[in-house]
Every structure is written in structure tokens, then in C-alpha cells.
Amino acid sequence: MTANAYSRKLYTLAVKVGANVATLAAVFVAMYQSSLHPAESLYVFCLWFFGIGICTWMLARTLLRRIRVRYADSDEGLVRLPGQRRESLVRWKVCGQTPVLERCTSQR
């Protein structure tokens, strides 16, 4: 395992655990806020949970993309694919060596 792969795995795991903890905290905050307003508890719960949750998921997705780009392996690179607005991280794989064409230099 290369240093980049180890760092990428470590930071990715940290972001995913952090996002899950933040989502769990969003559930508790939403439950507390909905208990303060029992007449409209479902509306308040959804408002708080999705307000915190969607921001957390978007931040985690952005961080994971930056980690993948920052700690890319040597056989990965950013390429703008047809039909895409931004560059994508792709892995290059060489299936075999290309044949070398030699020029025939026979003298007559």
C-alpha cells in the first residue's frame, strides 16, 4: 500500500465517520426542537433534520472528492470526459505493450 493510498483511506474514513456522527447529532437536535413545538412536530423535525443533514452530506461529498484528487495514485489522473462539465478522476490501465513498428531497411 502506497503512502497516498494509506492517507486517502485514512482521511476518507475520518470524513465518513464525521458525517455519520453529524447526521446522528442532526436527529437528536431535530427531535429536541420538535419536542418544543408539539403542534407542528413533524414539520419542525423535517426542517431541522434535512437542514443539517443535507448540508452535512454535501460537505462530505465535496471533501471526499478533494481527498480523492489530492491523494491520487500514480496511475490516476484528471480528465475531462465528453459530455461532462468538470474533470473526472480516472484510473489508467495499460493492458499490453503496443507493437513497435520497425522500418525495413533492406538494400538492393
Q: Pull the grid cell for residue 87.
A: 474533470
CA 19 to chain centre: 12
pLDDT at position 105 is: 54
- Cα separation of 52 and 80, whole Å? 32
Specify whether the CB–CB gap between 64 and 15 falls below 8 A.
Answer: yes
pLDDT digits (tens, 9 = 90+) for 3-51: 778 888 999 999 999 999 999 999 999 999 999 999 999 999 999 999 9
pLDDT digits (tens, 9 = 90+) for 88-100: 777 766 666 665 5
- Long-range contacts (CB closer than 8 Å, 24 or more residues apart) made by 51-55: 52/22, 52/23, 52/25, 52/26, 53/23, 53/26
Give the pTM. 0.71
pLDDT at position 97 is: 65
Domain spans in the chain, listed from the N-terminal domain onward: 3-75
